[in-house]
Amino acid sequence: MKKTLLILAMVISCMMASCNKNNNESNNPFVGVWKEDGTKWEFKENGEFIRVSNYYLGSNIFTDTGSYTYNAQSSTFITTYDKSGRSYMHIVQHCSNDKIVYYDPTDMYIWTLIRVY
């Protein structure tokens, strides 16, 4: 029961989170290059992304491509991968010009993107 209430509270707080506009010309705060642990993400203005896993670790490097959408009103960030066609919805908890924190409800993990440029 406590776990259910905790998860519910997290989801509600995530839904209430909003994202500040960044200083880029784009209104999309995701546009740019980001680091997430050892992974490099590049989000493009046209809604496409390139994800290079283990880029910053230097071994077992592989690349995924796909499309993404960000909805600031619902605090959702959705990625769709080209190779598999699978889509994943994430809940954005914090968004600023240099850091984005999002929650993945499928693995219940919180991820942090740090802007590289």
Under a CB-based contact definition with an 8 Å cutoff, are residues 54 and 41 in contact?
A: no
Ranges in the chain, pLDDT < 70 = 1-26
How far is it, in rounded angstroms, from Cα 105 to Cα 10? 10
Residue type at 101?
Answer: V
Q: The whole model's pTM is what? A: 0.76
Nearest by Cα to 76 from 87, 66, 64, 65 = 87
d(CA 31, CA 29): 6
What pLDDT shows up at residue 9? 42
Block residue for tokens 């491509």: 65
pLDDT at position 99 is 97
CA within 13 Å, CB half, 5:
2
Q: What is the model's pLDDT at position 58?
A: 85
